[in-house]
Amino acid sequence: MYVNAGYADWELIVQTAFHFALSVLAIACPCALGLATPTAVMVATGVGAKLGLLIKGAEPLENAHKVKTVIFDKTGTITRGSATVAKLSLLTGSANTLAIVRWCSAALGGQSGLTCVSFVAAPGCGLRARLRPQGGGQPTNLVNFNNLPRSGTSFVVEGVPVEVVPPGRDAALSSAQAAARLHSLIPTDSPASGEEVEQVVLIGNREWMSRNGVTVPRRVQEAMQQDEELGRTAVLAAINDQLVCTIGVADEVKPEAHLAVYCLKKMGLQVCLLTGDNRKTAVAIARQVGINKVYAEVLPSHKVAKIQKLQEEGQKVAMVGDGVNDSPALAQADVGIAIASGTDVAVEAADLVLMRNDLLDVVACLELSRTTVRRVRLNFLFASVYNLLGIPLASGAFAMFGLQLQPWMASAAMAMSSVSVVCSSLLLKTFKKPTLEQLRTSEYLQSIHLEELDSVSVHRGLDERIDPSERGASPLAK
Show which residues are catalytic: 73
CA–CA separation, 289 and 293 (whole Å): 11
**Which are the contacts of 471, defined by CB distance < 8 A and separation ≥ 6?**
455, 456, 457
Q: Strand order of the sheet with strand 69-72? A: 53-55, 352-354, 335-339, 317-321, 69-72, 270-274, 293-296, 457-460
Are 68 and 269 contacting, i.e. CB atoms less than 8 angstroms apart? yes
Q: Which residues make Cβ contacts (< 8 Å) with residue 177, sequence separation at least 6?
A: none
Give the chain's radius of gyration (CA, Å).
Answer: 33
User: CA distances (Å), 1 to each of 25, 392, 399, 406, in order?
Assistant: 20, 19, 11, 11
Q: Measure CA 131 to chain center.
A: 36
Q: Are 455 and 473 in contact (CB under 8 A)?
A: yes
Burial label, 255 (beta-carbon count in 10 A; 0-12, 13-18, 19+): exposed
Q: Give the DSSP letter string of 231-267.
A: TPEEEEEEETTEEEEEEEEE-PBPTTHHHHHHHHHHT
Local structure of 103: helix, strand or coil: helix
Q: Which of 453, 405, 402 is nearest to 25 (CA)?
A: 405
H, E, C per residue of 445-464: HHHHHHCECCCCEEEECCCC
Residues 344/359, Cβ–Cβ less than 8 Å: no
CB within 8 Å of 78: residues ≥ 6 apart: 72, 253, 254, 257, 273, 285, 289, 359
Q: Count of alpha carbons within 13 Å of 373, Cβ hemisphere only?
A: 14
Q: Is 382 helix (H, G, I), strand (E, B) or coil?
A: helix
Which amino acid makes up residue 142? L
Q: With left for phi above 0 and alpha for psi between -120 and 50, is residue 177 left, alpha or beta?
A: alpha
Strand ranges (E), 366-417: none
